Structure formats: structure tokens, C-alpha cells
Structure 1
Amino acid sequence: MQQTVGSYDQTMQALVFAERGAYGDLSYMPVFRASALFYAFADKDATTRIAFLNYWREKNHNHDVGVLVTVRDHKGIKCARTFSQLSEMTYDFDLRLLLGNDQAFQGSIEIEAFSSQDLKFQFPGLSVFYETSRGVSYVHASQRIYNDAEDRARGVALNPWQTGFRLDAAEHDPFIFIVNGPVPFPGGEVDFVAVREDGLELARKLTLQPLPAYATLDIRTAGIEGVHQFLGDKLGMCKIDLPLDNVHLRLVAGNALKDKSWLSVTHSYFDATEHSDYFDTSGLDPSVYPAFVPFVLPEELDVDLVLYPIYARSTIELRLQGYGTEGNLRFEINLGEWRTPEGGMRHLKIRKLVRDQGIDDSPGLYVLQLRAKNHQLPARITYGLDFHAGDSLGTNISSSAYLAKTWGSGRRTWKWGPVVAQTGGRNLIMVTAFSKIREEFLERKATLTFYAQHGPVAQKTLDLRGNAALTLVAEDLMAAGGYAPSDGDILWYVLRSDHATLDVNQVCISADGLVGGDHSF
């Protein structure tokens, strides 16, 4: 069962604001190996790819990074391995090319980045892409093998009760991808809880067969007794407590089409309901927003925002804001109080919420404001951000609300994310600019640059006035710069600004209207 731990927020903030290469600081743990471990599959119609921007060089000025890529089958047996000393701008490892065939395969891909210089973060800024003939879905680094005992001690308390992703059992086929670590699992019962949108729960014991080191498991909730009948046509989520050793358990999970032609992926998060991890907002000036989620409502997509009942216990007041093209507040809707975890999931269908109030649902910046009733705001408020086209399966981007104490505290914005070239498809880059100070009006300039393997291929200067948003079509910007990517290419954008109050989400929309995407790094 889950144990109460110290402040995850304090640990993460200490890491984020620590100086890279602070070898003289004995409380700091330098990192010379960063890694990620992904479930992988391939056949003649699908493949798994690992891709990344060489941000170590471009952002951190580290020219000494090499990556080791290892492929293992579902039993954990090594099938292929390659090493690259990084010198290019972008990299892309395709499972079918690594295996040298397009036969049916299930297993894992591990990527390890090594350097003689401090990497600072154990989890690298790279993504896994699940590609089928109908489109691409992707998510950033999830599981990883711990570097050493100190690394394990810091992360192991965050492993129990992985959760924080939506289940849509009525329309789709929910799944959880699991890769075991280097320690064999002897098999046995594990705890699983299905949670309905209204907060009702159904507990089950899952009997897992023994898992060799690095073996994989694909759990489909349809195979768990009573779960789909319990969820019915309601939105749901689940929690699973896996006693796997020496592996960080941020799992890849999501919903697949029932005909298996495409899947939407996200990652799990740990259940923090029994953690005492709070941000005390009582000392904030009344003009400062305590916590917020800025996002874009694009013209061609619908947006759902799902709050999960997995935070430190609190009663949170919710308000939805919309901003106009001039950067000023256009409306504010009081969404009432939400008590977590007792209140269950909170599913906000943004376009419907706005229309039901008789307000124009025009594209632009929208912000969900969160305020704790007793000033004790959970220090980590994880949510799902779902971009979708009509009733088609879309994203379930896992992210966390920004807190006033850290938003805008950096020296600059340096955000990056992937652009997936698909015939008949398009990529939207959604930039938001938001000030945590009520009625503050900032003018910001930013530069958006697109990178292919050998370097930059297109660039655009952006102006954002006030609380504002821009939705940019990557294909149009690259075409304006005279660049046409080949079908299947994975490029990367970088957003740079001297202002630290910008954020980005990106999505790729396939020719079939299926939407994959993630937040930026």
C-alpha cells in the first residue's frame, strides 16, 4: 500500500533550480546517465520510434553525449543494440529498422544517454512515437532504470498506485503498457482499482505471471473482471500498484481503437492523496493567481480538461477565463468548488461550457484558475488535456497546473517539441502567454525555429501582447521558409524568448482526423 512521503514538490524544485555541474554542493546529485524505457511493438502496418532533438548541445552546450539504444523482446531478451555519439541536430530510431524486418514484434526499447559532463536530469527529453497507417501518437520519457541506490531511494516512494489517465471503456480499448526492470518479478497478486467519474470505485486483485528481467506486459482493462460493466458509458480512470524493483514506474497508458488500427498514449502519475504536499497561498498578494492552467482552444478541435482525484486532499475553487485577441480578459465563469478526492473526476468540456453560458467560443487563450479554499493548495495538480476532432479519439496529455511561486521565475523560455510529417496531416503548435498577476499587460517577442537532422530549416518571429495565444500550423510555416519535409519525418521546433511566461502544447492531426500530441519540454 502507498506510504506517506516527504515533499515531492520540494525535491523537484530543488532539482530544477540547482545549478548544473554544482559538484561542490554535497546535497546535489550529478547525473552522467539519463535513460528511458518504453514498451514497443511493430509489424508490417505499425512501428515504434524513439526520437529527440539534440538539446544537450543546443540548449545546454554539452557536445559530449552518446546514446545506447537496446531492443529486447517480450521476455526481456536482447534482440538489437546500437550506439551513436551525438553530432547531428535530431535523431530518430525506428524499431523496424533496428530489427531489420517488419515481422510482428512486442518488447521494449531502452535508450541511455551518457556524458562526461553533468546532465542534471535522469529522465531525458525525448519521446516515443507509436505509428500506424492511420496516424501517430506520442508521449515523452516515462519508465527508466535507476542509476544507483541514491537515485532509487529518491524515486521509489513515487512508484505505488500509478494512475492519472482516463479510461473510455464504452467506445475504446483502454490499456496499460508495463516494462519490468532488471529484477525478475516472481508473479503474484497486485491491487487494481477502477474509478468511475462520479467517484465510485471497484477493487480487483490481478494475478500476474512471473516476469523475467525487462519482460513486458500489455494489460487491457477489458480483460479485468467486471471493470467495463462497472464503468458503463461513464468516463473513468484506474489505479494499479505494481511491486516491480529498481525501475521507475511512470507507465505508458491510454485508449486504443477497438479495431487496433490506432492508439492514443499518455503516461501515468502517482496517487498523492495521502501525501501532505501543499503550497501555502496565504502569503500571496491578492492580485496574484495561485495556480492556473493556460491552454488554447483551436478553431478546428474540441478540448476537454480532466481533473483527477489524486492530489493531496483539498477543496479547490475553479474558474474558467477566456481572453480576447487584444490580450484582455473576455469572460470568467465560476465553476464552483471541487473537493478532492471525494468529488471524483471533474470533466470540463470547454467548448460546451462556454456555449452553455451564451458566450462566444472563439479560438484563443483559455485559463483554468484554481484556488484552495483554505490556502492549502496541492503542490502538484495533474490533469489530462484532451484535444480531439469531433467524436474521434484524441490526446490525453498528462500535465500539471502551474503555481504562482515558480511561474515566470526562470530567466527565459526555451521550449521544444516534435513535428510529425504525415501525408494529408498537419501539426498545430499552440503557444500561450500568461501573467500570474491580475491585469498585468506584458508584451513579449519570441522566435520559433524548426530543425531537421542537419540544422534549422525555417524560422518565424512571434509577437504576443497581454494574455494571449497563437495557433500555428507547422507545415505552413515550413513551406513559407521553402522547406518541405518527407512523409514520416520527425522534426523539432524550439520556442525561444527572453520572457519566462510562455508555454506550448503541440498536436499532430492525421488525415483520418486522429489527434496525437503532448506538452512541450
Structure 2
Amino acid sequence: MKSYHKHLESTMAAGETVSLTRRPVFRSSAIFPVLHSAHYSSRVLFMGYWLLKRRIPEVQMLVTLRGEEGPVLLRKSLLITEPKAFALRVGDLLAETALGSTGANFTGSLELEIFATRDLVYPYPAFVLNYYGDEFMASVHTTGRVYNDIEDLQENEDKIVPECGFDILSAEEYAPFFAFVNGVYTYDNPLIKWTIVDEHDWAHHGEFVLPPVPAYATRFVKLRDYIDLGAVLRGGKGTIKLHHQFRGFFPRFVAGNFEQHRHALSITHTYYDSSAVTDAGAYWGNADERFHDSAVFAPLFMGEGEYTQLVFYPIYSPSAFGISLEFYDEGGRRVGTVRDWRHLDLHATPDQFFTLSFNEVIAQHFTPEQAKQLRGVNIVKHWPNREQIPTRLKFGLNIGRTGRAMNLPTNVCFNSQIANAKVLTKPGTFKWSPILDGDHSVVVILNGSPLKEYATPANLQLSFYREADNQTLERAALLPPFGQLRIEVNQDVELKEFLGGHPGWVTIQADNPFVTSWYFDFNESGAVGGDHAF
């Protein structure tokens, strides 16, 4: 794990001093575990954002499709000279290989490498892994990658910590899993030590051994094959810490739950377990009274049969903090506040795993008429010891539907913004989000901030891109503070016609550094997919 302070420095974040020894990034890569079957398939979605964000006129992409045990099946090169939408579909790539139609039940990997003659800054590109079928559409951003060089490896393996931070659904219809693509090293019988924390904050421990993992092999590890989840979780929800031995690749696993009865799945990614990390790099101080110690503004979906949850995982460096909730309508008007909703003391009880149900909190504190207005929540954290704010604050955003054929929510891994006055030096921000082509695709653009007295609107210039050509659709919007804009494809005739039934992208140029974005797809089956945007 690289420290958060080092991450800010290496990615040249606002106000950071660039080290004289910083190595420019000329190769940016990702490697994804992919599936293709009669029931579902995989694709990677991206746009030529390098041309817009970095002003790089062209980049070269090397595409490598590998089989489950690591053999190369296909290599091809793409020159990207347009900021349009792209999709690499595993079914199409398989058709180009010797497997052809015999690859109907395929497990393997897709590695995408971006090369440029100018600094790409980030060694991992903004790609979206999308598993999709008739009844679901699940997405997550770039996860694993093979390191560029020894310096890249050493920085990211500065601390070896477990991976955690996703929900295990233990009811019999679900099969929780994690998946990864190995790097250059071979492992004969890798040992995985695990800790499962349940909803009662009880920790259960064990270990299992995986079969051999050759170089570049893909592994989908179903936890039920190694752990009696029924005995451990008794039908409830939990999370797992994975103590692994893998080196040489960035071990950010794809993780989630298969819905076994209806051939669907939900995905997210794992995250660092920092619960044992207590050095100076694990914390951030806040002496600036203009800022909350940490806050994040998130969308709420509270329509009929919808629910929104926030999940806290046992992965934070030890500290004690309180949580308050500020609720807003779509126009940014604060409807109400729930102060000191909960206090956590991670010194006394480190293994805390719990789910905040916004439906329950809203029902307790708001009238039905008020509840109908709520579209966003500012989740504010405050520390009595303001020198002990953990730098790694990741949560899960679960948005789902009840009363449908299945209940398969999102489990979006996202971070909370810590107080950082250097962000105020930025004149604006550039964001970009995929627009999915499922049953009901929604992009949510938010204007929220960790500033206590936040009153800055955001002027937005929106550009929509499609696969078919390099034509764009242009729009402008104004977001009030704590306001939001929801782009719903099915209700937007112009946009729906422009995209032509295929995925697309929207770029968001804002004159305000606090604008963020999310995207979702609501399937009529009850499956909900989505992630935060870039």
C-alpha cells in the first residue's frame, strides 16, 4: 500500500510539491478478469479522455486477451486519436481468436496498456469493467494492474495489508466471490488467511489454500467453496479481510456476489485494510475551521421500492469520530439534519461492520412529505482529536430495489473527502462518466463540499460522446450548492436518440473543484449496477 500523502505527491494533486525524483508515467495499464457465457458477457468501456484532460494528441493501446491459465489468445493495437466512446467486447474479441464459437463459456483476462510520449500522470487508466446480461448490468472502475517497473512495485508494496471492503451476502441464492489476474510470478499453492466480520461485530478466522496460480492466470474464488458461510453468518451479511501472498501486481480485487438462480452478479472492488496501520502517514490533521474534518455528498434513491444504504467497514486506522447527516432536495435546499447519528470508537472496538439505512433514518426524522423531497445527503464526520483523521476513509454505497425478482444492489466503494485547503486553489474540475445502455440508466452530477459554509454554485459544460462517430451533444447547466442534476436516458429523448441504444460518455467541465458524479443502471429484475465516475 502506498501512503495517501505519497499518492497526492505522485499524481501531482492540487498544491502538492512535485518531487525532483518523480518518474513520469508513459505506460498506464489495467488487467481485468472477464467472463463470457450464454447468460452474460463482459466488456470494457472507455473514452479518449487523454486528448481532453491531458491535451495528448494520441495514445496507443495494446489489447491482450488471455485464457484462464494465462496463455495469450489475441493481441491487437489501437491508435486512439479521438475523444469518442469505445467498447471492447469479450465476445467480439473471442470471435477473432482460434477459439471462435468454442469460447462460449470463457474465463480469462483482458489487459489494456496505454502508451504515450507525454506524461500520463496516473499509472492506471480510467476504464470501466462491465459485466452484463438480460437481467443485470454491473460495473466497476479499473482494479488490478501489472506494475510498470521496480519503483512502481516498491512504492505500492511499501506496506503489505489485507484487502477488504465489500459485502458478503450469505443467503443461499448468493455466491460471494473475489477475482483477480495474477502478475508475472507463479504460486504453487497460495495461502489465503481470512477474517469475516459479521453484523454483530464478531470476527471469525480461518484459512484456505488455492490451487496453483500460474503467471497471468485468472481466478474467480467463490467463498462458499472454502468457507461454510451459513455457519459463520447464519444468513446475514458480513465482510471479509483477505490476507494474501500475491506480489508483483496491484492486488485490487474485483469482488461481489453472484445471484445463482438468475445468472446475474453485482461487483465492486476490494480496498486496503488499514486497521493495523498507525504511523504518521495513516493520519491527516485539520486545523482549518472552514472545513469539516471529512465529508462526502452522495445521492439518495428513495422512490417506491428503492433503498439507499451506507456501509462502514472494519478497515480504518484506529481513531474515534462522530457522524452527522445533512439531507438536501434536488435544488440544494437543506431539508433537515440528523446530528451525531452515531459515534465510533475504533480504539475500543476495532472490528465494526455496520450498515446505515437511510430509509430508516429518514422515516424516523422526517415526515412523508419531507421524505419525498430528499435527493442527496452530506455525510459529515468529526474527530475529537483533529490530528488523528484517517487518510483512507472508504465506504460502500448500496442502492437497491425490493419487491422484484431479485434483490441485487450496488456496493460502490467510494471515499470521503478530508479537509484539504489546497483544493481551493483549483479553479475548477473535469469529470467524466459512462452512460450505460441498460433498462434505466441514470447519471447523477453533484455539487457538494466539505466546507462548513458552502455557498458556491457550479457552472457546467456537458459534452456527450457516442461509439458511432466523433459527433458530440453539448449542453450547459447550473448547479446550486448541494444541488444535483440527474440525467435519465429513458426520459431524455434527444440523448436517447443520440446514443442509439449503445453506451456513451458525458464529460463535465465545471468552474468549481467540488463537483462529483455517479452513474447507475436499474434493471426491472431488481438488479442495480453503478459506480462513482472519474
- Tell me whether the two structures share a fold, i.e. TM-score over 0.5: yes
1:311 aligned residue = 316
Amino acid aligned to 1:38: F
1:45 aligned residue = 39
Shift of 1:201: 1.2
CA deviation digits over 1:480-504, x for unaligned, max 9? 35734344x2211111111111111
SS of 1:448 mapped into structure 2: strand
**2:20 matches 1:9:** no
Contact 1:129 1:136 in 2 (8 A): yes
Q: Unaligned regions of 5+ residues in structure 2, if any?
A: none
Question: 1:50 & 1:466 partners in 2: Cα distance?
Answer: 34
2:89 aligned residue = 94
1:448 aligned residue = 462
Amino acid aligned to 2:363: R
SS of 2:497 mapped into structure 1: coil
Shift of 1:143: 0.4
Q: Unaligned regions of 5+ residues in structure 1, if any?
A: none
Shift of 1:203: 1.1
Question: 1:458 & 1:317 partners in 2: Cα distance?
Answer: 44
SS of 1:57 mapped into structure 2: helix
Contact 2:177 2:223 in 1 (8 A): yes
1:364 aligned residue = 375
Shift of 1:165: 0.7
1:418 aligned residue = 434
SS of 1:483 mapped into structure 2: helix
Change (3 A) 1:505 1:184: same
Amino acid aligned to 2:355: H
**Which stretch of the first structure deviates more once superposed, 504-513 or 247-256?**
504-513
Question: 2:449 & 2:122 partners in 1: Cα distance?
Answer: 28
Question: 2:357 & 2:393 partners in 1: Cα distance?
Answer: 18
Amino acid aligned to 1:64: E
2:344 aligned residue = 338
Question: 1:16 & 1:31 partners in 2: Cα distance?
Answer: 10
Contact 1:195 1:236 in 2 (8 A): yes
2:120 aligned residue = 119
CA deviation digits over 1:184-219, x for unaligned, max 9? 112142211111122211111111121110112111
Change (3 A) 1:163 1:25: closer
Shift of 1:343: 5.4
Taking every aligned residue pair, what percent have the same amino acid on both sides?
23
CA deviation digits over 1:116-152, x for unaligned, max 9? 1111110101111111121211101000000100000
- Of 294, 297, 303, the residue aligned with 2:297 is 294
SS of 2:11 mapped into structure 1: helix
Amino acid aligned to 2:299: V
CA deviation digits over 1:304-342, x for unaligned, max 9? 110111011011100111124553432111312012352
Question: 1:138 & 1:251 partners in 2: Cα distance?
Answer: 13
CA deviation digits over 1:158-187, x for unaligned, max 9? 553111111111252211112111111121
Contact 1:364 1:470 in 2 (8 A): no
Amino acid aligned to 1:395: T
**Which stretch of the first structure deviates more once superposed, 317-326 or 368-377?**
317-326
CA deviation digits over 1:437-491, x for unaligned, max 9? 32332222112221013234433322212322232213434x235734344x221
Contact 2:298 2:376 in 1 (8 A): yes
Shift of 1:16: 3.1
Contact 2:166 2:411 in 1 (8 A): yes
**2:412 matches 1:397:** yes
CA deviation digits over 1:326-385, x for unaligned, max 9? 534321113120123525113111122111223432232211101112211111100001
**Which stretch of the first structure deviates more once superposed, 156-165 or 288-297?**
156-165
2:445 aligned residue = 431
Amino acid aligned to 1:292: A
- Of 250, 253, 265, the residue aligned with 1:251 is 253
Question: 1:399 & 1:313 partners in 2: Cα distance?
Answer: 19
1:381 aligned residue = 393
Question: 1:420 & 1:500 partners in 2: Cα distance?
Answer: 25
Question: 2:374 & 2:470 partners in 1: Cα distance?
Answer: 32
**2:336 matches 1:321:** no
**Which stretch of the first structure deviates more once superposed, 81-90 or 113-122?**
81-90
Question: 1:95 & 1:255 partners in 2: Cα distance?
Answer: 21
Question: 1:224 & 1:36 partners in 2: Cα distance?
Answer: 28
Amino acid aligned to 1:96: G
Question: 1:505 & 1:468 partners in 2: Cα distance?
Answer: 14
Contact 1:202 1:227 in 2 (8 A): no
Contact 2:59 2:80 in 1 (8 A): yes
Question: 1:41 & 1:94 partners in 2: Cα distance?
Answer: 11
SS of 2:239 mapped into structure 1: strand
Change (3 A) 1:158 1:484: farther
Change (3 A) 1:309 1:408: farther
**Which stretch of the first structure deviates more once superposed, 256-265 or 376-385?**
256-265
Question: 1:260 & 1:177 partners in 2: Cα distance?
Answer: 20
Matches within 5 A, 1:434-513: 434-453=448-467, 454-477=469-492, 479-480=493-494, 483-487=497-501, 489-513=502-526
- Of 258, 283, 288, the residue aligned with 1:284 is 288
**Which stretch of the first structure deviates more once superposed, 49-58 or 190-199?**
190-199
Amino acid aligned to 2:374: P
Question: 1:288 & 1:188 partners in 2: Cα distance?
Answer: 45
Question: 2:24 & 2:146 partners in 1: Cα distance?
Answer: 16
Change (3 A) 1:192 1:435: closer
Change (3 A) 1:482 1:338: closer
Question: 1:325 & 1:132 partners in 2: Cα distance?
Answer: 32
**2:110 matches 1:109:** yes
SS of 2:499 mapped into structure 1: coil
TM-score, scaled to structure 1: 0.92
Equivalent pairs, count: 508
CA deviation digits over 1:414-456, x for unaligned, max 9? 111111113xx12111121123332332222112221013234
SS of 2:455 mapped into structure 1: coil
RMSD: 2.1
TM-score, scaled to structure 2: 0.90
Shift of 1:302: 1.8
Contact 2:463 2:506 in 1 (8 A): yes
Contact 2:44 2:87 in 1 (8 A): yes
**2:269 matches 1:267:** yes
SS of 2:363 mapped into structure 1: helix
Question: 2:474 & 2:409 partners in 1: Cα distance?
Answer: 28
